[in-house]
Structure 1
Amino acid sequence: MAAEGSSERPDSPEFHDLFLAHFDTLVAFLMARTDVGRHGAEDLAQEVMVRAWRSWPKLVGDVQDLGPWLRTVARRLAIDTNRARRARPEEILCDTSSNLAERAVAEEHDRYVLDRVTARAVMGLLGPRHRQVIELYYLRDLDIRTISRYLSVPEGTVKSRLHHAVRLMRRQSWRELRGTLSG
C-alpha cells in the first residue's frame, strides 16, 4: 500500500479501495456510539475518511490493515460529538408550517384550562372562605380589588386567603400525585 513518506496521491485507486472497504462499517460503528442518526454517522464517517486522506502519505499497510486506525479515529470523533451534544442545549425541532404567535396563544389557553381543571379538582379540600376566594380569582377571573369589594374584606385579607388556599391545594395535589405514581 502506501509507504511512509510516499508521494503517492491520496486520490489513488488504493484510497478509493480503502473508502469502499471501510465506509459502511464505519457508519455502523458510529451509529452504535452516537445518537446522531444515520445521516450524522455518515457525516462523521466522511470526516474519518478526510482525515485518512490527509494522512495518506504517512499511513502504512494494506487497505484491510488500516481498519483499526480508522476505528480509532472514528471512536475519538464519536466521543467529541457526544461531548459537544451534551455541552449545548437540546435541539428542538420547530414546525414552521404554523404561526408561532397562534401556537403561543393556544399553549397559553391550554395552560389556562389546565389550571382551571386542577383548581376545580382540589377545591373540595378547602374551607368555604378559601374556596370562595379561589373561585372568584381563578374561575371567574376577578382581580384582588374587585374580590375585596365583593366580599367586603380588605385586599390584604383576600391576598392572604388566596395565598393559603393555593398552598393547601398544591400540597394536597402533590400528595395525590405521589399516591397515584406509587400505587
Structure 2
Amino acid sequence: MPPDADPRLAALFDAHARPLWRYVVHLTGDRAGADDVVQETLLRAWRTPRILEQEPSSTRAWMITVARHLVIDEARSARRRHEQPVADVPDRGRDDDTDRLFEAILIEEALAAISVEHRSVIVNAYYGGLSVAQTAAALDIPEGTVKSRLHYGLRALRLALQERGVTR
C-alpha cells in the first residue's frame, strides 16, 4: 500500500488482501489475474460505507462473494473466450430453402388428405390466384359452391395440418 493511501483502505488491505488473493488464485489458478480481482474487490468494499462499518468476518464474507462474482464475470466475458471484435461484419449467410421445403411438403400432404372437390377449389383460389368467379368458371361449378367448398375445405385443411403438428 502506498504511504498516502486512505487509512480505511489500508486497513481493508491489511486485514483481507492476502486471504482474498489466495481464494482467487485457488479459483482461477491465475496469480496475476488474482491481483486485479483483489484490487477491484477492495475498491468496491472501500466505496461501500456499510461494508466498512461491519465486523471483519462479515466484511470478509462479502468480499469473497464479490471476488467470486468478479471471477465468474471474467470467465463469461468475451475477452476470456478470446473473442476479438472485427472491423468488418462478415457477409450474412444465405438462408436456405429448407423451412419452405418442409412447409411445402406438409401442405402437400395435408392437401392430399382432403377431398378432391375441396382441394381443387383451394388450389385454384389460393395457389392459382383465381377469384371466386374465375375458379367457378375454371371448375364449371356455381360461385356459391366455390365459396362453400373454400370454407369447408380450409377447415378440413386446418385439421389435416393440426394432425401433422402444425399449430399456427
In the superposition, the TM-score normalised over structure 2's length comes to 0.48
Larger radius of gyration: 2
In the superposition, the TM-score normalised over structure 1's length comes to 0.45
Determine which structure has greater relative contact order: mean sequence separation of CA pairs < 8 Å that are 6+ residues apart, divided by chain length. 1
Higher fraction of helix: 1
